C-alpha cells in the first residue's frame, strides 16, 4: 500500500515539476497535461486485458453504503485531501505575502509532493510494525506540528526538510486509512472504498485547478 501511494504521489509531483521546467505561460504546460492524459489512457488500455478476475466472495456493497460503513475513515481521507489541496492552492499566495520568489515557491511545492512519494513506503513499514491506527495518529500529530512550525521556519533552510516531512505525513493519513480499510473489510469492499477515496482526492485536485 505504501508503494501504491508513492506511485500516486509521484504522479502528482510531475505537475509542479513540469511548470518549473516550461513555465506557466503559453501552450507548453497545457500540452504537457494533454500528452500525459493520452499516455495514461494508452497504459490503461494495455493493462486492462491483463487484469485478473475479481473475486466475488461475501456480500456486495454499494458505493453509497460504504459511507455508513466507515465514516471516520472517510473523514480522515477528506482531512488529508483538504490539507494537501489547501496547501497547494494557497501556498503561492502565502509565500508571496512573505516575500518569497515564485521559483522558490514552486520548488517548495515540488519538495512537498516529493515527500508524499518518498515517505509512503516507510510509513507502510511503520504501520506493519506499530499498527495502522498508531501510525495514523502519528501522521495527524506531525501534520499539526508542521503547520505550527511553517511560519517560524519559512525563511530558514529548515523549511525544506519541514515541507518534505509534512508532505509525507499528510499523505500518510490517506495511506493509513486505506490500510485500515484492507484490515476491516473484504476484497470487493476494499476495491470500492479505494476508488471512492481516490476519486475524492482527484475531485479535490480538480477544484483547486478550477480556482
Q: State how far the Cα of 171 lies from the Cα of 165, in Å rounded to an integer.
A: 10
How far is CA 197 from each of CA 7, 28, 104, 178, rounded to the nearest angstrom? 16, 31, 31, 8
Identify the DSSP state of 56.
Answer: -
Closest of 4, 35, 6, 3 to residue 18, by C-alpha: 35
Strand segments, DSSP code E, in 39-171 are none
Q: Using pLDDT thresholds of 50, 70 and 90, give the confidence band for residue 69.
A: low
Residues in the chain: 211
What is the pLDDT, as a whole number, of residue 5? 62
- List the domains of the chain with CATH numbers: 2-210 (1.20.1250)
pTM over 0.75: no
Please, what is the Cα angle at 114 between 108 and 77, to 5 degrees? 100
Judge whether residue 211 has pLDDT over 50.
no
Question: pLDDT tens digits for 200-209?
Answer: 454 444 444 4
Q: Using pLDDT thresholds of 50, 70 and 90, give the confidence band for residue 142.
A: very high
Amino acid at each position: 500500500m505504501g508503494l501504491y501511494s508513492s506511485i500516486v504521489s509521484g504522479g502528482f509531483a510531475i505537475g509542479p515539476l513540469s511548470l518549473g521546467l516550461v513555465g506557466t505561460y503559453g501552450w507548453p504546460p497545457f500540452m504537457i497535461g494533454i500528452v500525459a492524459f493520452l499516455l495514461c489512457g494508452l497504459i490503461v488500455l494495455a493493462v486492462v486485458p491483463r487484469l485478473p478476475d475479481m473475486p466475488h466472495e461475501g456480500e456486495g456493497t454499494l458505493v453509497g453504503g460504504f459511507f455508513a460503513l466507515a465514516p471516520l475513515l472517510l473523514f480522515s481521507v477528506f482531512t488529508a485531501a483538504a490539507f494537501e489541496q489547501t496547501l497547494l492552492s494557497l501556498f503561492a499566495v502565502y509565500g508571496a505575502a512573505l516575500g518569497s520568489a515564485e521559483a522558490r515557491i514552486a520548488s517548495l511545492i515540488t519538495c512537498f509532493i516529493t515527500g508524499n512519494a518518498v515517505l509512503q513506503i516507510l510509513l507502510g513499514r511503520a504501520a506493519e510494525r506499530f499498527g495502522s491506527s498508531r501510525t495514523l495518529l502519528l501522521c495527524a500529530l506531525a501534520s499539526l506540528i508542521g503547520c505550527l512550525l511553517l511560519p517560524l521556519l519559512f525563511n530558514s533552510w529548515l523549511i525544506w526538510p519541514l515541507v518534505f516531512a509534512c508532505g509525507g505525513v499528510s499523505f500518510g493519513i490517506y495511506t493509513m486509512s486505506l490500510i485500515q480499510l484492507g484490515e476491516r473489510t473484504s476484497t470487493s469492499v476494499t476495491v470500492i472504498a479505494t476508488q471512492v477515496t481516490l476519486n475524492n482526492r482527484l475531485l479535490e485536485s480538480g477544484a483547486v485547478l478550477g480556482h
